[in-house]
Amino acid sequence: MADATNQSEPDFKLKPCITEILRTNYCQAGLTMLVDKVVLVTMTKTEFNRAYRLYLSDGEKSIQGMPCYWRQLAIEHVIANPSIC
């Protein structure tokens, strides 16, 4: 059994940023957020028949959003290959 004291800390540090994004309507490059949940949403009457709703957290607040199509392709790749996470 692994010793809990030997576990390394993540290579990133969460910084509260959602409040600032909503206040300024500007998303700074390089922000790190946790993906709390990914939900597949069935769409009708659009050229795309599905989309992903992401629930993101900055450690203090949570927000949800639906990425543009090309980012959805990357999400599908991660879902199909969970070992890359």
| Model confidence pLDDT, tens digit, residues 28-68 | 888 888 889 988 888 777 666 778 888 999 999 999 988 77
Per the prediction, the chain carries an average pLDDT of 79
Per-residue pLDDT at 1: 47
- The confidence score (pLDDT) of residue 55 equals 92
- Give the residue-averaged pLDDT of 12-23: 88
User: What pLDDT is stored for residue 33 in this prediction?
Assistant: 87
The burial of 47, by beta-carbon neighbours within 10 Å (0-12 exposed, 13-18 middle, 19 or more buried), is given as exposed
